[in-house]
Structure 1
């Protein structure tokens, strides 16, 4: 199979994986809240937050190893391939041991982190089990790296799909039969093991020719290369984790674990939208910008960047407006009145996040022109400022203060500071770029869908059929108005050319 087919199949399977994960989340979350209670579900979310920090021990090696292994594959250098895998194998064995030590080392702190919940004995077991499974994920990390380096994201997505479907099915059955946090941890861990086994099965034919007896010097030099390439990823990931992953711990200490579910549910819809925007306007733009930058065509690069930014801004604004309108009735149908504050969490974060989504192409621009360190410092310093603001405002206003702290920091860093970064790269005034190329296209993209929502929203009730009907009408208005409100003539012609109906008519004519 050609590289292009691998890319297309991988993109399609990744989108299917995202859709299935979203549907599974919609079905499982209400059952978790009803079965475990708000306090039990909040405690489980804290355990997952701890495990999320364990994943940072990867230190960006997965990303850099995939890149180096792919280059070695392209050069057909089997010796280099084996050396990379040997260096990774040694690192991940050590990483798995570190995770096990941290898991049992953090257990004495668990009562303090969770504010002494009633089910503390079950949480000990949940943390120990999920921590050990995380260690296994590191120990058996090589199959995932091999699949990615061979551009077999489709196989990786298939493993993830099997895990999600199996996990969600068993979880729904168990929760309807009185499952506890202990049962949830067992089901979650078994699902992770299934995915690891499938990755190993899919990669067995790809990595059998990649092993070699690398010398100690070669392995050490390769390990240094991997860490040098991933150093920037470490700082950026740490900064990002100080925003959303730290907030559940702050909320637990300030107001108790029973408030964490409202925060988690309120941010869930935004993170789903972020995944969708990233799938549409994320890393695939990097190659296109890179070609223009490599051809030394700065004017064309700038014009293409601004065109893509207009489209991204219009889509993101319309999508977020739809989420804001539907959030109230949807959350009421999904999780009930007990988590009413989740709607307020979403409303607070909607503005800073939509500005962040609008400027997704800016990250690819900075990577293209070699300004990676700007993104690293933006994430790192922004994360520290977010943690400080959330703590200060949380002491005053509780959970809402924690959310406000994250929102204020994101508005400044991902909105104002990012606009200044673009000014430094393109020469366009930061104010003109922000208002003329980000906010104005966003306003135009959301105008007609918002007018439709304003006129029909009073008919929407907390009923899934009414919500789906409203969403269908909103989407229809968006797709009919977006090409004329946001896209220029050349972009519209490109769309018409690749639409099957239009293309067939053009061919018959």
Structure 2
């Protein structure tokens, strides 16, 4: 994959994410206010519970990306077909299991959370459709994993953006016409089916060698997928606990309506994570290809500079959200959410800063098949997160759940993951810690501490955009002159010179 294709893939990922953020910006307040706190909280609970069912992919999807990219790089098309076909067979069995589990949970959902707003039959239908959607996602995730392994991020993002625009336009129409959860669930499953069809057409037309074949399903391939996937599965279990347990703890131990106050800041930090993953996802198949061709030295450099640049990239966003996040939430969702959700956002940002800096480590360890240690660390984080949240929720409410989340988040991502990644890549930990973490964190923390002493508020979107632009410009200029590697600094100046010359000619 050449540099132009890498940039196109990253840019298309960002465009997809930007569209998702813009759509969420306009649609989320409509969704929350039209459904109401309790109904929206029920929707979040259903998504959180059914999210655990995706664990039945056992991490195989990451193995698909790994081996499709590897066999495509080495031109071993027969092995790629074996991976493709065996994955389909495995996911077909898992999807049937999801349907059975979904039916059981759907039948008992109303009683588990003592929901009075809807009938048992209605909630069963909503829950079952969402579960069926996930079952289809399991089977046809083979398409997405294959296309990622083949580095077709541009097409994947185009499909995603088109379906997202159509889906959300219909969603707004449904909400304004007083449709509720059943319509939402049906819309989601239909939109996903459209994406699956588009992905299948792309594979069939561009990669004709990839065809499902019963003859290509074999134990050797399934074992290879299992050996790689077992630790990806543990990572998946951990991530599901980390992402979805907070809402379930709040719904069970506090109140369903309080889920909304936590879900809003949770949505914001989730988009921040997706922003960084938009880069990392492109790099994973490249990392695998580099390992397959013996270019592991590049991965060492990638870890240090990748951590550094990840922090520099998200620093202005975290700076603005930490200082003005509560004002933004108030303007976006309504004044009643500003105080409680703003406080939760600041707590979560403290921990997510370190998580976002280590997503590059996740990508590298997965790419070189050294993700066992990552799986074990994330399992430990998930257990500690759940334990602390359950203990603190009755005492401190949703604030306690947030604190229970960030304590293990900081421990694992600020200390343990960097240490073990450096060990795998044979990098001096002190060197990495200073260059990758301390230097970029300093330019965020110092001005943040200074601005914390000032009392200011943001009263309009114009003020927010102006403040955000000034912050981004200051961080960019400082990073350009003092934090970028010389080779990257030179590249930026070359691009600037080319652009200015074109403008002068015009």
**Shared topology, TM-score over 0.5?**
yes
TM-aligned CA deviation for residue 24 of structure 1: 1.2
Relative to structure 1, the CA distance from residue 75 to residue 395 in structure 2 (aligned partners, 3 Å threshold; closer, same or farther) is same
- The 5-angstrom pairing of residues 6-155 of structure 1 reads 6-121=5-120, 122-155=122-155
Residues 98-155 of structure 1, C-alpha deviation per residue, up to 9 Å, x if partnerless? Answer: 1110110112331244332312443222111111222222333443344334322222
* Structure 1 counterpart of 2:317: 319
Q: Secondary structure of the equivalent of 2:151?
A: coil
Residue from 331, 334, 346 that aligns with 2:332: 334
TM-score normalized by the length of structure 2: 0.88
Q: Secondary structure of the equivalent of 1:246?
A: helix
Distance in 1, Cα, partners of 2:420 & 2:271 = 27
Preserved contact between residue 322 and residue 450 of structure 1 (Cα < 8 Å): no
Gaps of 5+ in 1: none
Preserved contact between residue 71 and residue 77 of structure 2 (Cα < 8 Å): yes
Q: Which stretch of the first structure deviates more once superposed, 435-444 or 175-184?
A: 435-444
Distance in 2, Cα, partners of 1:4 & 1:481 = 26
* Structure 1 counterpart of 2:198: 198
Distance in 2, Cα, partners of 1:80 & 1:308 = 32
Preserved contact between residue 309 and residue 359 of structure 1 (Cα < 8 Å): yes
- The 5-angstrom pairing of residues 431-450 of structure 1 reads 434=433, 437-445=436-444, 447=446
* Structure 1 counterpart of 2:479: 482
Residues 32-62 of structure 1, C-alpha deviation per residue, up to 9 Å, x if partnerless? Answer: 1111110000000111112211222111222
Preserved contact between residue 449 and residue 477 of structure 1 (Cα < 8 Å): no
Preserved contact between residue 310 and residue 357 of structure 2 (Cα < 8 Å): yes
Relative to structure 1, the CA distance from residue 225 to residue 368 in structure 2 (aligned partners, 3 Å threshold; closer, same or farther) is closer
Q: Which stretch of the first structure deviates more once superposed, 263-272 or 314-323?
A: 314-323
Distance in 2, Cα, partners of 1:304 & 1:228 = 26
- The 5-angstrom pairing of residues 154-165 of structure 1 reads 154-165=154-165
Q: Secondary structure of the equivalent of 1:386?
A: helix
Q: Which stretch of the first structure deviates more once superposed, 445-454 or 240-249?
A: 445-454
Preserved contact between residue 254 and residue 399 of structure 1 (Cα < 8 Å): no
Distance in 1, Cα, partners of 2:15 & 2:96 = 34
Preserved contact between residue 453 and residue 474 of structure 1 (Cα < 8 Å): no
Relative to structure 1, the CA distance from residue 109 to residue 448 in structure 2 (aligned partners, 3 Å threshold; closer, same or farther) is same
Preserved contact between residue 45 and residue 247 of structure 2 (Cα < 8 Å): yes
TM-aligned CA deviation for residue 354 of structure 1: 0.8
RMSD: 3.3
The count of aligned residue pairs is: 501
Gaps of 5+ in 2: none
Q: Which stretch of the first structure deviates more once superposed, 329-338 or 7-16?
A: 7-16
Moved runs in structure 1, 4+ residues, more than 6 A? 292-298, 449-455
* Structure 2 counterpart of 1:386: 385
* Structure 1 counterpart of 2:399: 400
- The 5-angstrom pairing of residues 77-476 of structure 1 reads 77-121=76-120, 122-206=122-206, 208-211=208-211, 213-215=213-215, 219-280=218-279, 284=283, 287=286, 305-339=303-337, 340-364=339-363, 366=365, 371-421=370-420, 424=423, 428=428, 434=433, 437-445=436-444, 447=446, 458=456, 460-461=458-459, 463-476=460-473
Residues 367-409 of structure 1, C-alpha deviation per residue, up to 9 Å, x if partnerless? Answer: 5776422211111111111111111111322222111111111
Preserved contact between residue 449 and residue 478 of structure 1 (Cα < 8 Å): no
Relative to structure 1, the CA distance from residue 33 to residue 208 in structure 2 (aligned partners, 3 Å threshold; closer, same or farther) is same
Q: Secondary structure of the equivalent of 1:458?
A: coil
Relative to structure 1, the CA distance from residue 104 to residue 56 in structure 2 (aligned partners, 3 Å threshold; closer, same or farther) is same
TM-score normalized by the length of structure 1: 0.87
